[in-house]
Amino acid sequence: MPQYISIMIDASTVSKSDQFINLEDQFGAHNYHPLPVVLERGEGVFVFDVNGKRYYDFLSAYSAINQGHCHPHIVGALVEQAKKLTLTSRAFHNNRLGEYEQFATAFFGYDKLLPMNTGAEAVETAIKIARKWAYEVKGIAGNNAQIVVCENNFHGRTTTIISFSNDPVARKNFGPYTGGFIKIPYDNSEALEETLKNNPHVAAFLVEPIQGEAGVYVPSSDYLKKCKAICDKYNVLLLADEVQTGIARTGRLLASCGNCSCADKNCSQTPEVKADILILGKALSGGVYPVSAVLANDDIMSVIGPGNHGSTFGGNPIAAAVAIAALEVVKEEKLAEKAHKLGELFRAKMNEYISNSLIVKQVRGKGLLNAIVINDHEESDTAWNICLSLRDHGLLAKPTHGNIIRFAPPLVMTETQLLECVGIITETLSEFEPL
């Protein structure tokens, strides 16, 4: 009898959830430390575990599920396309890719799109384009181009990307590291100017408009605008990694909110920055399929020719159909406006709670990308225990960096649901307040 069956029927002593957790533990690499909950179904703002218990999802797969779980319009597009044609590779054309490229470039306001699958691949793609642009357009001498990045960045997990991370867990024992990166403090445009002034070999500045993984660090409101002006002054490309912040999450179509078809009326009050290279992933598919993309105008994207870059699955017809549907949902359901409105409400309610709290120090964020900071040191397990208790109360969230809990529900949430969630969160937190 195959071993997995023997484990599955060992129900007398082990709970149903534990059986699935044990399988992952025994046969999967231990590269994650998941919250102990086993999910089998999702619908809108909810997920359901193997025992049928319902939870509000306050992670949204790290903001991939902005459109809600299993959105019928997106899943419908997936199923329809999957029955017709799934993959051609880019050795041949397919009848969906061009349509998607036209749709997405108009949606975000760029000339061209380069399709990939994961966020890390899109970041790698942007780095390659920026380097090639530096040699062929800017005129930097061969193999000398530098890319400026920020401390505490998160851009993915490839060998090159972890080379410029400063998270010891992500880096340690994965060297030798890829060179060509200069690290400066985040939210510090003076440091950027200083670096560019003294270094003629800089090709690009790679930045997250809000540092999500680092703990939802929102920079000062004019930071990106200043960075863009400095980049322009020194002929350096601004690369915006909007894999997590993009596609309505922060209350605007893009957190950097350049010349986009943003639905949020408040947008004009905020600094408008158009990145030279825009990096998207996660919610580009609504979490239905791995779809990522790099967008740029012709003067930059034209450095890429046949054979310079590619991916077997990048630009496949399912990805194209899914991404169009996912973006249609963002627009039709006004998700940017919703995220903006619900985010204001969430932070107001949390601040009400925090004014009388000893356990929560701060709430911060933009739109529905928020985090609370627990009043405890980074190595404490308080945030983890709060997340376990939230789970028991029917809401799923995960600590990031020890004492920070990120709250990022799907954007299709109603105001009533959000208020119910605020109730769950504040009730749970109050259990942890010192007496």
Residues found near ligand PLP in the complex (CB under 6 A): 62, 118-120, 123, 154-156, 208, 212-213, 241, 243-244, 281-282
**Helix (H, G, I), strand (E, B), or coil: what is residue 149?**
strand
Q: For the CA atoms of 214, 216, 220, 222, what is the dihedral angle to 10 degrees?
A: 100
CB of 121 to ligand PLP, least distance (A): 7
Let me know how long the chain is: 435
- Smaller CB separation from ligand PLP, 44 or 209: 209
Angle between helices 72-84 and 317-332 (to 10 degrees): 160
- Smaller CB separation from ligand PLP, 189 or 285: 285
CA distance 394 to 165: 34
Q: Is 241 a catalytic residue?
A: yes
CA distance 147 to 142: 14
Question: In this structure, are strands 292-296 and 112-116 parallel, antiparallel, or unpaired?
Answer: antiparallel
CB of 64 to ligand PLP, least distance (A): 8
Q: Which secondary-structure segment (H or E) carries 112?
A: strand 112-116
Q: Which of 49, 57, 132, 241 is catalytic?
A: 241
Where does 146-297 show beta strands of DSSP type E? 146-150, 181-184, 202-207, 237-241, 277-280, 292-296
- Smaller CB separation from ligand PLP, 237 or 354: 237
Q: Is 381 a catalytic residue?
A: no
CB of 67 to ligand PLP, least distance (A): 16
CB of 151 to ligand PLP, least distance (A): 14
Q: Which of 58, 154, 313, 432 is catalytic?
A: 154
Q: How far is CA 331 from CA 262, 324, 334, in A?
A: 9, 11, 5
H helices present in 186-334, as ranges:
189-197, 223-233, 298-301, 317-332
Q: Is 138 a catalytic residue?
A: no
Q: Which secondary-structure segment (H or E) carries 404?
A: strand 404-407
- Smaller CB separation from ligand PLP, 280 or 359: 280
CB of 62 to ligand PLP, least distance (A): 5
Chain-centroid distance of CA 195 in Å reads: 27
CB of 118 to ligand PLP, least distance (A): 4
- Smaller CB separation from ligand PLP, 96 or 282: 282
- Smaller CB separation from ligand PLP, 77 or 120: 120
CA distance 122 to 163: 16
Q: Which of 274, 282, 338, 366 is catalytic?
A: 282
Q: CB nearest ligand PLP: which residue? A: 119
- Best CA proximity match to 257, nearest among 283, 225, 231: 225
CA distance 112 to 115: 10
CB of 92 to ligand PLP, least distance (A): 26
By annotation, the residues acting in catalysis are 154, 241, 282
